[in-house]
Structure formats: structure tokens, C-alpha cells
Structure 1
Amino acid sequence: MIFELLLAALVAAVVWLIFFRDDDNPVDKLPGPPRKPWIGNAWELLQMPSDKLLDILVDYTNTYGDRYVFKVFSLRVLHISGPPDVETVLSHSKNIKKSAPYDFLKGWLGTGLLLSTGLHWHKRRKILTPTFHFNILKNFAHVIEEKTQDLVKMLKDKNGADVSLMPTISDFTLFTICETAMGTKLDDDKTSATVDYKNAILNIGMQMLARITRFWLHNDFIFNNSSRGKEFTKTLEVARAFADNVIMDRKAQRIQNKGEDISIADASDGIGTKKRLAMLDLLLEAEEKGEIDMDGIRDEVNTFMFEGHDTTALALTFGLMLLADHEDVQERIYEECQTILGDSEHVTMSNLSDMKYLEAVIKEILRLYPSVPFIGREITEDFKLGDITVKKGTTVDVHIYELHRRADMFPEPEKFMPERFLGTEMKHPYAYVPFSAGPRNCIGQRFAMQEMKTTLSELVRHFKIVPKVKGARPRIMADLVLRPVDPIYVKFIPR
């Protein structure tokens, strides 16, 4: 009897500490949705439909301003969308830990670059940074061009019929990331593996979003034993098996090619350096040196497979939707490409760097539709945000979507105006952060820009892009990334 009473008291104490302990906190002075005693805004969170979360948060920003607080029991979530605040958070050298909801992905991404923190993160970043060196990106260029030509050929075969963009473009970006960063070709795979993998990524995002809005599922034990948790486990098995096959294929190729000494001239100093064909090669070399184990390789491959294909596919999808509605922008891109490339069938890195207008177009696409609309941080060290002290344990969510649509930073923010990125200095260096910023900025942003420039330049050179319905815009939602809820259709009319 005494044991049961002590156990009940212990459980009650834990519940009180987690849910109901309510210390004074300076951020409580900030505005936000009305809070109920003890539970705060937990009831509002429970009632949020997953596909409406983005709309609701945008409404809160419009109502409460650049800073507002959402409270769930004793947890404070500080939402920010003002450039000075965004700079303070993203440039902080110590508060680099991702917020708690990212932990929901650990079964999939483990301690890969996206989720890790501290010394572990620094070590992985150091291993992976050479993957995106300029010379390595030059070696990727021919693969990206080859995949783009395959895409052009496939679209020509459509004979001007409506094309559903997202499934088409995500195939292209998945094949591209696998052959560049992973050194593995997928195009010849006639099984349903790629379809299953893409569906798994979509399901993981939806399941994570559903878990965020159901606070009782935040506990791993409860979630893992729920019907959603069991479904999530099955989905993870599909995603992880796909990545494991990519790793095993590359290991087999390396064994087969062992002993070959392929060298390239380093363009910066003329010194012969061993050619690293892929990010996966760097990881496998690090494994041979004892710097990473196979679980670590799997975590990084899963991370890059997701981040390297899904985010770029979404940016290209939204971009083609916008270009279809703006024939004048298409024609200006076409004229720029003709001036730079003429009749050449090949696009070099130098050609891409000369495409200043196309770069402005891509920046404007990412302003309106940032692939990652929010970034979350768990504060591990007290810091000052202007005149407010943000205490350890607080979650801070950076709202990139709303940041990019501020009228004081971008006049007529809802309009698609690429010229706003031509020769004009940004009003604030942190008003535009599509690839994040600071120490945790996106390691693959140069690769992403290279792929998007190559793809859009080639598509515009070969096609006039026409909308199925002029001015149509899909409903959008946020899970792991910014997604269209409705299909987006355009026509590719050969020039």
C-alpha cells in the first residue's frame, strides 16, 4: 500500500513538473492567443486541423505581430518574424539545438546533420562540407544536365498535355540527388521502390504534423504504442530500406572499383587530388578511418536523400507554377539564356553564374514559397531578444514564410516580382533566409541553386510553360516542408 501511494505521488509530481509548473517567465508579457488556466493554449492546439496549421499561424502573426507566445501547459513557444529577432536567433553560436518536435524524426534521421547538435554536429559538418566544394559541384554538373535532358525528353513526349508537376519533378530531383550525392542511378529501377519511398516521405511529414498537434502523443512510449505510432514505424521501414539499398549499392561499387586511382586536376591550385564522386564516398572513406559508423552513414544518407530531393522539388514546382502565369518572365529568362548559351547544348558552371536574371527569379520563388516555412530552436542558454530575456527551455519558432512576406521589407509582398532582387540591397540581411542563416545554414544551398538554375534554364529554352488555369493557386500547408495541398498542372509547349 505504501509503495502504491509513493508511486502515485511520484507520478503526480512528474505530471505537475511537466504540465502544470508555471514559473514566472519574461516572455509571458508578450501577446498571443488567450490562455486558459494551467493548460494555456493546449485546447487550441488540439483543435487545429493539420492542413490548416500554416493558415492559423499566419493569422496569429497578422493579429499579434512580430513576436507572440503560444503556451502549452508550462512550455512557452515564442514565434518570431521580425528581421532583427531572426538575426539574433539564427546567428546565435550556442543556441543551435533544434526544437523538440524535430526529435519525432530521430527514428528516421537519427543524429544526422539536421537533428544533431553540439560537438557531434560540428564533427559531422566538418566531414560533409567538402561534398559541396566548387570542384565537386563542377563534377555534378554533367549529371544534373543529363537528368534535365531526360526530363525535357519526357515532357516533349507529353505533346502539350497537362502535367501534374509535383510527382514529375520529385522523380527528377530524387534521381538527381541519388546519382550526384549518392553515386547511385535509380532511373533504371523498374520496381515501385521510388514511388514507395516518395509516399513514405509524404506520410512521415503528415504523421509528424498530426503528432505535434496532439500533445499526448509527444511521449515516445505512448506514441509508439498508438495506432499512429505503429503506422509511423511501418513508414520508417520503407524509407530506411530505400536508403540502405543506396548505401549497399555504393559500397559494392567501391569494392568493385577498388584499386583504381582516378585523379582530377584541382582548378584552384593545379594539384592532383583524388576524385570524390559523391557525398556517400566521403562518408564511406570516413568510416574506413573510424570517424563514423554505419548507423551514422545511414543517418546522413536519410537526411540528404530527404533534404536534397523534396525541398528542391517543391521549389521547382512552385517556380514552374509562377512562370506559367508570367509569360514576360519566361521570355526574359529565354533571352538571357540565348545571349549566354546561343546554340550550345551544354550549360557550364560559368554559364550558370552569368544568369543573373534567372537567379533573381529563383530568389523570388523562394521568397514567396520557402521550402522550409519554419525553423524551431530549443533554447539551451538564456539570451536577450531586444529587451526580452528568453530563458533556457523556451522554444523559439522562426517564421520564414511570414518574414518573406513583410510589406516593410518587400513592397507589394504578394506579387511575383523578380526584379526586386536585381541590384538592390536588402533592407535587412536577415529579411530573406530561404536556406536559413548563421552557423546552421543549409550546407547544400549552392547545390540546390545549381540544380534549379540548370533545370529552369533548360525547360524555358525548350518550352513555353502554360497554366492549366490562369491565376490558379493551390492551397498550401506545412509539414516538414511547404507543400501544395492541391495538384498543380501546367502544359509544356515545345518552342
Structure 2
Amino acid sequence: MTRDFVDSSASIPGPRGGVDGLADIAAAGGLHNYQLRLHAEYGPVVRFALPGAETAVSVADPVLLEATAKIDERPDKLFEFLAPLQESGNLQTIPEEEHTPWRRVLLSVLAGRRSHEAHFGQFVNLACGLADQWAEASSQGPIALQQNLSTLSLRMICEYALGSGTASPEQAEQIVSAFEDVLTEQLARLYHVEMPGTDEERAVRAQQALTYLRAVVDDVLAAHQSGAQQSDSSDLIAALADAGQSPARIRDTVLMTMLAAHHTTGVAISWTLYLLAQHPDAAERVAEELDRVLGDRLAPDYADLKHLTYLTMVLKESMRLYPPGPYGAREATEELHIGDYTITAGTTIFYPIWAVHLNPEYWPSPELFRPERFSAEESAARPRLAYIPFGVGPRSCEGASLATIEAELTLAILLRRFRFELAAEHPVVSIERFVLWAADDIWMNLTARQPVELC
């Protein structure tokens, strides 16, 4: 017999009391740390209070997560903060019958080799441009990695999503600035943190920025529809238009893709460089692999990436320790059995990605940086959901393969050009700001490995 929500959740261990868990989360220093503490104290399945949900059930065991892997539903309340950015319905929570065909179109582009190859040359140009800037600026002192790399990742996704819509550097700068205004306002609302300006000033600035961003996408869409801009199935806007999506849905999809990619890829790259700076043996092994694969070139071709096997292991180990997308959530659409517990329909299932990645049962000495964990042999010995930096199942990140290519390419160019050393006067403290961020950025001193004329 199916039990009601209260009965089924009451049998699951976890803290009692608290209206929405905000005080406990704040006291722990954020949801990441709170989840680690909960699972260390109560085990792999935990019941806890979560803002936006009556009660959530958090699952940190990859074997038990399999029972949830096919869920195609997200809790509406947890993603309400994104609704103001979208006019065609919240893309994070649209129902399965809309989500499935929409996701299929996205994957045909975002996960397609043809699309990646079509944009790879421009990605190389953007990453080489950043490397040139760093080469010039490094003589003046340390470089702020996350600020620079987040801007680079946004430039990449703008080029990818808009194509000729970002033809001029000036427009690219405007887009970067507009996204910063939108994100500043959203983060202030989401985390209740102090931001520059009054509430009214930020709200007006954010609305103006959002209006501008929508107009940029509309201009590119209009050019596509009139035939003034050449596009093919490797272009995101073209694929969405050809699939019969409405102009509002196309605009929202492009903006949400750009928003999601704004910080995530950049912070993944920066945490990887941070870890390599602390592990010079691994950094030297990456450099030797790059020298061997690239020869006298400073930038890889698309085909080179598959030969950078150790670099790939380093990136994966970095995203295990510092997952750029820190957690996820689903809503059970039917009764589930997770281990010894019965979860009723309507329950919020919480994915504590950091806790999954640090589960000692599947990751011995989980706090240690050891890229060899991702050798073919060790990977084959783990459950498939032990490593989930891009989420789980039909609501996982559609841009996972694109983000990986951007990160590997950028790391290859930067590590071919420079050696990285942490600036002693700038301690690194991780905080939660939608992604796993460094409170005062990650500052590095750079020294040249290869002459710039090879680029």
C-alpha cells in the first residue's frame, strides 16, 4: 500500500525542526557544506528541510541514485528564481511532453561533432587572445583567473549561440556587461547578499540588460529567417527555428544556454589550474603530453583533443573535487524505492553532487587530487553515477560535451603557454554563488613556457 508523504519521509534519518532549513544551511557555510555534514552524520539517504520544498530527500550513493535516473520532472518552486528571465515558460521545469522534443533538438546541436568542429576555430582564437592578454599583463603582477575565464567562457558561448550576432568586439563587450547586470540582480535575490547599488537601481539595470539581450537574439533570428544570415543545422538558433520552436522559446533557450555557460566552464578551468599549481608533478605530466601531441604548435586541432588523455583525467578530477554545477533536484512522479525507503510521488529528490563525488566508499581518500582515478581501469570499476558533474538522466546538462571541449581546448592553450603559481598574498576560499566560486578569485603568477610566436 502506498504511504502518504509524511509517513514515507518520516522513516528517513535526518535533522528535525526548522521551517525551511535556511538557518542551518547558512550556519554550515552554504548548501555544499551542509550536505556533506548531513550525509556524514546520517548516511547516504537523508531527509532535510530545503527552501522551496516541504521536505527533500538527499541521496549521496550512486547505486541508490539509479532509482531516480529516469525522472523527467523538476520541482517548480526550486527554479522559480529563473522564471523572470523567460517568457515562454520556465525551461528548467517545462513538462516532459514539451521537454523531450526540445531537449532532442538541443542535443542534436550542443552534443554534435559537426557543430563543435564548425566553431572550434573561433574558440581557438578567443582562447589564444586571452593567452596573449595574460602574457602582456603577467609582468605587472598576478592574474585573476575566474574573472578572466568566466568572461572567456561567455564569449565562447555567445559566439556559439549567436554566430555572426557577435561579429564585433564592441558588441561582445556589451553582451558580457549585460549578462553581468542580469546575474548580479539574480544572485542578490537568490542569496540575499549585498550588491552594489540600491534594489531599485539594480532592478532597472537588470531589466534594461535583459531587454538588450533579448533584442540581440531577436536580431539574429530575424536575419536567419530572412536569409540574410547563412546558417545550417550546426547553429543553435537555426536548429531551433527549423524544429518549429516559437521565437520566444528560441530566445529563451539561447539566453538560458548562455546564462548556464557563463560561469560554469570558466570556473571549471580555473579550479583545474588551481589544483595543478598545487601539484607540480601532475602539471609537468600535462605539459609533457601537450608537447608530445602538439609538437611545435601552441593550440590543438579538434582531432588532437582525443589524444590528450591525461589532461582529460585532470579536468575530470578537478570537476569531481570542485563540481561547477553543485547540485540538482528532481520531483518523484511515482512511488520510488531507494534502498530501504519508500519515496512517494511529489517528493523532492535532491542530488548533492559534491557529497556524491566525495563518497569514500567509491572514492578512496576522496579529498586527495589524483587524476589516475579516471583511468579506463578505475572508471570501469565504479558505478556510472559516482561521477555526475553535469547531472543525471533526462534533465542533465545538454551542453556537457560542448563545455568539456571548451575547457580542454582552453587548458591546452594556457598550459602550453604558461606555468602557474599561486600568489601567496591571495588565499583561496571556496564559496557558493550559484556555482562553486572563489571568494576573492584565484590569483596566479604566470611564467612563460613557450614563445608566443609559435601560436
TM-score where L is the length of structure 1: 0.80
CA deviation profile, 1:165-204 (whole Å, cap 9, x unmatched): 1211111111111111221326333865523422432441
Conserved 8 A contact 2:233-2:239:
yes
Deviation for aligned residue 1:137: 0.9
**Partner residue of 1:492 out of 430, 436, 446:** 446
2:202 is aligned with 1:248:
no
Conserved 8 A contact 2:179-2:259:
no
Q: Report the CA distance shift for 1:488/1:259 in structure 2 as closer, same or farther (over 3 A).
A: closer
Deviation for aligned residue 1:470: 9.2
2:65 maps to which residue?
Answer: 86
Deviation for aligned residue 1:65: 1.7
C-alpha distance in structure 1 between counterparts of 2:91 and 2:431, whole Å: 27
1:295 maps to which residue?
Answer: 248
Conserved 8 A contact 1:106-1:115:
no
1:96 maps to which residue?
Answer: 73
1:25 maps to which residue?
Answer: 7
2:158 is aligned with 1:178:
yes
1:139 partner amino acid: A
1:375 partner amino acid: G
2:415 is aligned with 1:464:
no
2:119 is aligned with 1:140:
yes
C-alpha distance in structure 2 between counterparts of 1:253 and 1:56, whole Å: 48
**Partner residue of 2:207 out of 237, 252, 259:** 237
Conserved 8 A contact 1:152-1:462:
yes
C-alpha distance in structure 2 between counterparts of 1:471 and 1:406, whole Å: 30
2:389 is aligned with 1:434:
yes
Deviation for aligned residue 1:233: 5.1
C-alpha distance in structure 2 between counterparts of 1:177 and 1:259, whole Å: 18
1:282 maps to which residue?
Answer: 239
Deviation for aligned residue 1:451: 0.5
2:45 maps to which residue?
Answer: 67
1:414 partner amino acid: E
Q: Report the CA distance shift for 1:385/1:195 in structure 2 as closer, same or farther (over 3 A).
A: same
**Partner residue of 1:367 out of 299, 313, 320:** 320
Q: Secondary structure at the match of 1:168?
A: helix
1:352 maps to which residue?
Answer: 305
Conserved 8 A contact 1:180-1:278:
yes
CA deviation profile, 1:383-404 (whole Å, cap 9, x unmatched): 2212321112211111001110
C-alpha distance in structure 2 between counterparts of 1:387 and 1:190, whole Å: 53
C-alpha distance in structure 1 between counterparts of 2:50 and 2:434, whole Å: 21
Conserved 8 A contact 2:299-2:412:
no
Conserved 8 A contact 1:368-1:405:
yes
Q: Report the CA distance shift for 1:487/1:345 in structure 2 as closer, same or farther (over 3 A).
A: closer
C-alpha distance in structure 1 between counterparts of 2:436 and 2:204, whole Å: 24
Conserved 8 A contact 2:47-2:57:
yes
Q: Secondary structure at the match of 1:361?
A: helix
Q: Secondary structure at the match of 2:414?
A: helix
Q: Report the CA distance shift for 1:153/1:245 in structure 2 as closer, same or farther (over 3 A).
A: farther
Counting matched residue pairs gives: 433
C-alpha distance in structure 1 between counterparts of 2:331 and 2:423, whole Å: 43
**Partner residue of 2:129 out of 137, 144, 150:** 150
Q: Report the CA distance shift for 1:156/1:71 in structure 2 as closer, same or farther (over 3 A).
A: closer
Q: Secondary structure at the match of 2:365?
A: coil
State the structure with more CA Rg: 1
2:93 maps to which residue?
Answer: 115
Q: Secondary structure at the match of 1:181?
A: helix
TM-score where L is the length of structure 2: 0.87
C-alpha distance in structure 1 between counterparts of 2:75 and 2:5, whole Å: 23
CA RMSD of aligned residues (A): 2.8
Q: Secondary structure at the match of 1:347?
A: coil
CA deviation profile, 1:342-395 (whole Å, cap 9, x unmatched): 013542221001110000001001100111111111222222212321112211
Q: Secondary structure at the match of 2:360?
A: coil
Deviation for aligned residue 1:232: 7.8
C-alpha distance in structure 2 between counterparts of 1:191 and 1:353, whole Å: 32
Q: Secondary structure at the match of 1:188?
A: helix
2:318 partner amino acid: I
Deviation for aligned residue 1:259: 8.5
CA deviation profile, 1:286-335 (whole Å, cap 9, x unmatched): 4xxxx222221121012101112221111112112112222222211111
Deviation for aligned residue 1:473: 3.2
1:246 partner amino acid: V
Deviation for aligned residue 1:441: 2.3
CA deviation profile, 1:59-99 (whole Å, cap 9, x unmatched): 2222112111124799221111111222221x12x453345
Deviates more, 1:145-154 or 1:65-74: 65-74
2:241 partner amino acid: L
Conserved 8 A contact 1:378-1:394:
yes
Gaps of 5+ in 1: 1-21, 36-40, 212-226, 261-273
C-alpha distance in structure 2 between counterparts of 1:361 and 1:417, whole Å: 8
Amino-acid identity (%): 25
C-alpha distance in structure 1 between counterparts of 2:78 and 2:6, whole Å: 24
Deviation for aligned residue 1:472: 4.4
Q: Report the CA distance shift for 1:23/1:178 in structure 2 as closer, same or farther (over 3 A).
A: closer
1:330 partner amino acid: A
2:377 is aligned with 1:407:
no
C-alpha distance in structure 2 between counterparts of 1:173 and 1:137, whole Å: 15
C-alpha distance in structure 2 between counterparts of 1:86 and 1:386, whole Å: 10
Q: Report the CA distance shift for 1:367/1:309 in structure 2 as closer, same or farther (over 3 A).
A: same
C-alpha distance in structure 1 between counterparts of 2:359 and 2:424, whole Å: 28
Q: Secondary structure at the match of 1:331?
A: helix
2:116 partner amino acid: L
2:149 maps to which residue?
Answer: 169
Q: Secondary structure at the match of 1:491?
A: strand
C-alpha distance in structure 1 between counterparts of 2:14 and 2:437, whole Å: 26
Conserved 8 A contact 1:166-1:313:
yes
Q: Report the CA distance shift for 1:33/1:171 in structure 2 as closer, same or farther (over 3 A).
A: same
C-alpha distance in structure 2 between counterparts of 1:406 and 1:343, whole Å: 42
Q: Secondary structure at the match of 1:55?
A: helix
Q: Report the CA distance shift for 1:207/1:155 in structure 2 as closer, same or farther (over 3 A).
A: same
